[in-house]
Structure 1
Amino acid sequence: MKIGILTHHYINNFGAFLQAYSLQQAVQDLYPDDEVYIIDCINLKHFIINAGGWFRFYKNKENLSNWFQKIRLPWTFAKARKKYMNLTHICYDAKGIEKLGLDYIIVGSDEVWNYRETKGNAKVKFGIGLNNEKLIAYAPSVGQTNDLEVPDYVKQGILKFKAVSARDALTEKLAENIRGEKIERVVDPTFLSKIPVEPVASVKKPYILFYYCDGLPVEEKNKIFEYAQKNGLAVYGAGECDKHYTSTTVNLTPFQWVWMFKNASYVVTGTFHGAVFSMLNHRQFACYLTNPSRIKKVTSLLEEFKLDSRCCDANADNIIAKLKEKIDYKRTEEEFEMRRNSSKVFLKDNIN
């Protein structure tokens, strides 16, 4: 049996890489005698815009040293994809995918169903043009999209799937309205497999880790830096630039990025996978959410595991207080394990 995974694997984003890699590993573990591939289907517009974004220079945050390290990151991702992903031949549309001769296609995870995202939206992610394979949706997300004015191709596509699951409440609601059935909530693929780590040689002392807290006022961020200095902590960014960080840790491999979370004393993040990897590595963390495409999916994740109290406003004192508030990971890990098992059962029950 040949199983293909159709997702945003080519995006130069740590979460996008790790969810694709993890789903590949999880499915291969479930079906060790079968062939499991990442379908190397490229949306050129999406790819070019994403790759080009790494070459922008933000003078208020970056210096030339930061920037030179940052612009190398797309090549770091390219090498990681080549080494760790079992990629098919490159294809650009449904016709190319059909020629691969796959028995099953798993669509997901990440915002593969965000039909209002004009850069990355592709009808093929809804199964349009795929007629020779059985389709499974594993943990797709619609981002911030709601179920008003849903395009016909989205409705027609979602109805084509043999089985549909969802990663968050909004996607669950959309699919339930279209299919008229209960949709199972499953965990992000990064929960399903053991992810390797690679150490970052330049990191020598305990640290607070930031990962994309868009909109956090500079004066509040500086207060957190002052707290770190008083308490003997460095401050790093997980694959992001800020000339005020202790040193630059932007050109990381995906597994070095995971190591940064695994070894952080505290994490402050504004993203879905920033929250996920804080949780998976049992870190004390706080979420500062302002990006509309992240608020609903991160909030849904935290509510699912009864960690929604980790959300903070733009006040450094509140963020620091939240970081020092211990999470009972013994209880949370029990929930993780139960949800991992049920998510694997979803895959096993629907791929046969």
Structure 2
Amino acid sequence: MKIGILTHHYINNFGAFLQAYSLQQAVLELRPNDEVYIIDDLNLRHFIINVGGWFRFYKDKENISNWLQKIKLPSTFRNARKAHMNLTKRCYKTSEVNALKLDCIIVGSDEVWNYRETKGNAKIKFGEGLSCNKLIAYAPSVGNISGSDAPEYVVNGIKKFRAVSARDELTEQLASGIRNEKIYRVVDPTFLAYIPDEEVPGINQPYIMFYYCDGLSKEQKEVIFDYAKTNGYAVYGAGENDKKYTKTTVNLTPFQWVWMFRHAKYVVTGTFHGVVFSMLSHRDFTCYMTNPSRIKKVGSLLKEFGLSDRQADGSANHILSILKRGVDYQAFDRVANVKIEQSKEFLQKAIK
């Protein structure tokens, strides 16, 4: 069987890369005799906007030296995709995807079903125009969409899928209302497969790590820097810049990014995959979000694993108090192991 994965793999983002890579690896483990590809379908508008974003210069947080490191990231991601993803030939049209003659197409994960997101929304990810009869949705997300205003192509598309799962509550509600059936809640693909790591050179002391906690004020971040200095911690940003970080660690491969999570003392993040990799790495973490989509996605994730108390209110004192309060990872593992097996079972049954 020829199986294709249709997702936002082309986006230069650590979570986007790792969820696509992990789903590829998970399907390969479940179906070792099948051909498994990531469909190199390029949403050109989405791709260009994403690449352009890495070239912005933030004068309050960056200097020329670390900006020059940051703008290398699109090339770093391109090389990682070539090395670690089994890509089909490049496709720009649905007809070109159909010409691949795939027996099964898995759509997901991430916000592939956020039909209000003007940059990345694509009708093909709702199955429109696809001739493949075996369409599966694995862990798609609608972002922060709620309500019943879905366009006709979304409704008809979701009905077309052979099997549908959801990564969060809002996606589950939307799909359940459209299909009038129970929707499987599954874990993000990064839970399903072993992900290797690569050491980041020059890191030799315990550290607090930030990953895109964008809404945190400069003043509150300063308090955390002072705490780190007093207690002998370095401070790094995994794939992000700040002139006050101990060292520039922005131009990371995806597997170096994983390494930084696995070796951090504490993690402060504002993203879905920042929380996922904190949990998978058994790190003490906290999260603070201001982006509505992230609030919904991350809130649903934390609730699912009984970790809603890891969400901070944006004050440094609250962040530090949460970090010092350890996570019960034995309890987390018990829940996660069950969900992982259920998610693999969903995939296996859907593909057959």
Give the TM-score category using the shorter length: over 0.9
Listed as ranges, the matches of 1:1-352 within 5 Å are 1-352=1-352
Letter of the aligned partner of 1:163 in structure 2?
A
3-state SS of the aligned residue for 1:314? coil
Q: In the aligned structure 1, how far is the partner of 2:327 from the partner of 2:341?
A: 23
Q: In the aligned structure 2, how far is the partner of 1:133 from the partner of 1:74?
A: 35
3-state SS of the aligned residue for 2:140? coil
Q: In the aligned structure 2, how far is the partner of 1:234 from the partner of 1:122?
A: 42
3-state SS of the aligned residue for 2:205? coil
Superimposed CA distance per residue, residues 169-198 of structure 1 (whole angstroms, 9 cap, x where no aligned partner): 000000000000010100000000000000
Letter of the aligned partner of 2:161 in structure 1?
F
Preserved contact between residue 113 and residue 140 of structure 1 (Cα < 8 Å): yes
3-state SS of the aligned residue for 1:136? strand
Q: Using the TM superposition, give the Cα deviation of residue 331 of structure 1 relative to its aligned residue in structure 2, in angstroms.
A: 1.1
Letter of the aligned partner of 2:23 in structure 1?
L
3-state SS of the aligned residue for 1:236? strand
3-state SS of the aligned residue for 1:279? helix
Q: In the aligned structure 2, how far is the partner of 1:160 from the partner of 1:207?
A: 48
CA RMSD of aligned residues (A): 0.6
TM-score, L = length of structure 1? 0.99
Letter of the aligned partner of 1:130 in structure 2?
L
Superimposed CA distance per residue, residues 42-91 of structure 1 (whole angstroms, 9 cap, x where no aligned partner): 00000000001100000011000110000000000000000000000000
Preserved contact between residue 93 and residue 124 of structure 1 (Cα < 8 Å): no
Q: In the aligned structure 2, how far is the partner of 1:144 from the partner of 1:215?
A: 18
3-state SS of the aligned residue for 1:286? strand
Unpaired stretches in structure 2, ≥5 consecutive residues: none
Q: Using the TM superposition, give the Cα deviation of residue 337 of structure 1 relative to its aligned residue in structure 2, in angstroms.
A: 0.6
Q: In the aligned structure 2, how far is the partner of 1:329 from the partner of 1:249?
A: 28
3-state SS of the aligned residue for 1:174? helix
TM-score, L = length of structure 2? 0.99
Preserved contact between residue 138 and residue 165 of structure 1 (Cα < 8 Å): yes
Superimposed CA distance per residue, residues 268-308 of structure 1 (whole angstroms, 9 cap, x where no aligned partner): 00000000000000000001111111000000000000000
Count of residue pairs brought into register by the alignment: 352
Q: In the aligned structure 2, how far is the partner of 1:83 from the partner of 1:202?
A: 25
Preserved contact between residue 105 and residue 132 of structure 2 (Cα < 8 Å): no
Q: Give the share of equivalent positions with the same residue, in percent.
A: 67
Letter of the aligned partner of 1:116 in structure 2?
R
